[in-house]
Amino acid sequence: MVKPIVLVIMDGVGKGDGGPGDAVALAKTPTLDRLLETCPHTWLKAHGTAVGLPSDDDMGNSEVGHNALGCGQVYSQGAKLVGESIENGALFNSETWLDLIANAKAGHALHFLGLLSDGNVHSNISHLIALLKKARQEGVQKVCCHILLDGRDVPATSALEYVDQLEGVLASLSGEGYEYLIASGGGRMKITMDRYQANWPMVEAGWRTHVQGQGRQFPSAKEAIETYRAETGCIDQDLPAFVIAKDGQPVGKIENGDSVILYNFRGDRAQEISLAFDRKEFPYFDRGDYTGVKFAGMLQYDGDLNIPEHYLVQPPVISNTLTEVLCAAGIHEYALSETQKYGHVTYFWNGNRSGKVDEKLEVYEEIPSDVIPFEQAPAMKSKEITERLVAQMASKQFQFLRCNYPNGDMVGHTGVLEAVIYAMERVDEGLAAILKAADQYGYTVLITADHGNADQMLETKKGKTSVRTAHSLNPVPFIIYDTDHHWDIQPGKYGLANVAPTVVKMLGLTAPACWEASMV
């Protein structure tokens, strides 16, 4: 008899080395330990080529991870997609690029806004450099860079390396009537890069910095970073905003009529600032005397919501998703998380599609996240997620239920080891309650993750050990809990895209021919 399935995604929980930086191993997780000791399980590749990124040096992330989990296939993603478009020239031949360049050559400045690093999660500095060089080649005279400091997908205090690299490129492109410069910046967790409308004041702070030139002034980005580090002790992602000025005046505010490119390729933290630039009707904060710019994203961050209206690189068209297969079979589905990861179990899971495939068969539920530093409340909404999921299991309305516990990832990014350990213990408590409900109501439970993070909180480079806030390259678990049937996981090397075919087979359905193989 086919049993309904619950899929639990422990966001940011991989297989660490068991050392002093492995918060998953350090936490008291009796439920997860028992599952790994007694249940069929394997370890899935969740980074690099397994999720469509350029190489296995590229860490996975929640977006591409949920794409792969939800579609059973591997698509060119993020950095790889953009890199291919730059290399083959499609980006520079796009109508959007040509329009923005023509506008800049007609007397307006060209602005680049985005995360300055090579983390390959939200952006890559190599893409920015390629765009800068092409703009210079095409005769754009004034170009301003508005840089968001990373320290999250790359080492926590590496910002100056990227600033030095960028300053060198800008200097080489300047002179003889050409002015290429850094105009503003700040830490990615302080300004501009909020997501899921959790903290609009953060986006507003970025707007005041980049567009209105409001904020503490410095003669250079390097001096701003060094000064703030000395004063605050913050890592890069938490450094305050800064404005580069000369003689008391900002050197590169974004003015009405200018051309603006948001060069991030990942969608979640790009949507809100895109709306601020893109929408005539905008209720979230007062934009002052703003009347509009020529704006484009590197990608379209939400196709169904048309965010933004113009973009440089065509996104992958992901079809034959798990949700489409299940809806075609009449399977009722339930998706749940708190705000921080709600988009991942819905939009990204469904192949970058907003809305539902079938309103009659799907129910999505979002628990609002608290607007508070995650290390201060590392339990996040794990208790509420567990309670809602168990209630829906008891209702027996759904044959496939999925949820995401964000704790391992969101708390993991803070770098506070004690908080991450506590977070993992709360997730483990949630697993215990879900397994109890599975026994009571007759469910198979699958436990996995989208990438690693909490499993590697320290890193050693050149003999120096420091806090790691980025995702890890470690594999993630895939565990089958079923008290009525023993499932044999077939020998092989698997990735996240093998989960959907496994779910379909366990539900007695046939997977599309384009999918990866089932693990059972």
Residues 494, 501 contacting (CB under 8 angstroms): no
Residues comprising the chain, all counted: 520
**What distance in Å separates the CA atoms of residue 69 and residue 349, rounded to the nearest whole number?**
7
Distances (CA, A) of 145 to 85, 167, 504: 21, 10, 47
Closest CA to 421 of 47, 17, 13, 60: 13
Distances (CA, A) of 139 to 103, 295, 313, 317: 12, 19, 22, 34
Which is catalytic among the residues 62, 117, 123, 518? 62
**What distance in Å separates the CA atoms of residue 128 and residue 322, rounded to the nearest whole number?**
35
Closest CA to 352 of 257, 268, 464, 451: 268
Cα torsion for 85, 120, 77, 274, to the nearest 10°?
-80
Amino acid found at 255: E
The angle formed by the CA atoms of residues 294, 205 and 257, to the nearest 5 degrees, is 20
H or E element at residue 387: helix 382-395
| Active-site residue flag, 62 | yes
Question: Quick one: three-class SS letters along 413-480?
Answer: HHCCHHHHHHHHHHHHHHHHHHHHHHHHHCCEEEEECCCECCCCCEEEECCEEEECCCCECCCEEEEE
Task: Give the SS3 label for residue 61.
Answer: coil
398: tokens are 């759904």
- What are the φ/ψ torsions at residue 75 (nearest 5 degrees)? -115, 150
Closest CA to 201 of 371, 339, 341: 371
Burial class (CB in 10 A: 0-12, 13-18, 19+), 341: buried
Instruction: State the angle between helix axes of 125-137 and 78-87 in degrees (0 to 180), rounded to the nearest 10.
Output: 20
Closest CA to 94 of 314, 317, 315, 312: 312
**What distance in Å separates the CA atoms of residue 159 and residue 477, rounded to the nearest whole number?**
33
Task: Give the SS3 label for residue 259.
Answer: strand
Residues 455, 472 contacting (CB under 8 angstroms): yes
Residues 241, 183 contacting (CB under 8 angstroms): no
Residues 62, 451 contacting (CB under 8 angstroms): yes
Give the catalytic positions in this structure: 62
